[in-house]
Amino acid sequence: MNDRTMSSKSAGARLSRRKILSGLGSAAIAGGAVAATNNALGAENPDLELLRLGEEFAQAYAAERALEEREVPWPIFKEGMGRTDAIARRIAAIPTKTLEGMRVKARAIESYCGVWEAPGAKPEVQLYDSLVRDLIA
């Protein structure tokens, strides 16, 4: 029986506070920001997969921007865009259940579209910009 299938009662008997704390530190070091997010929010967070994808999207988008700055040939840049777009589609397909999940989607929108002051824009554009700004603040 592995740790995932064992009951919480037997899991508590086998884990000490020292083991848990040392495991959290090791996971954060080994897994980086994603592991730290998982530990901080706990496995019970209903948007955990969305938060993980948000981290993955941020990394892919930064890599895509780096390719653009280096002015790589189009096929290479297109491949980078494809990775970012695939993650964005996965993010879009997952319904959010928490404010943190909504922020993941807002950051992805902001990455693609930007957010700007548009005083003369139609009300729906102003609302969109305001919503995204509020969520990523």
- pLDDT category of residue 8 using cuts at 50, 70 and 90: very low
pLDDT for 52-75, tens place per residue? 999 999 999 999 999 999 999 999
- Alpha helices by DSSP H, listed for the chain, are 8-14, 17-41, 48-69, 74-93, 99-113, 123-136
pLDDT 10s digits, 16-35: 334 344 444 433 333 344 44
Cα separations in angstroms, 79 against 41, 46, 64, 76, 87: 33, 31, 9, 5, 13
- Residue from 38, 47, 57 nearest 96 by CA: 47
Q: Taking the model in full, what pTM does it have?
A: 0.65
**DSSP states of 37-76:** HHHHH-TT-TTHHHHHHHHHHHHHHHHHHHHHHTT--HHH
Distance CA 53, CA 88 (A): 8
Count of C-beta atoms within a 10 Å radius of residue 105:
21
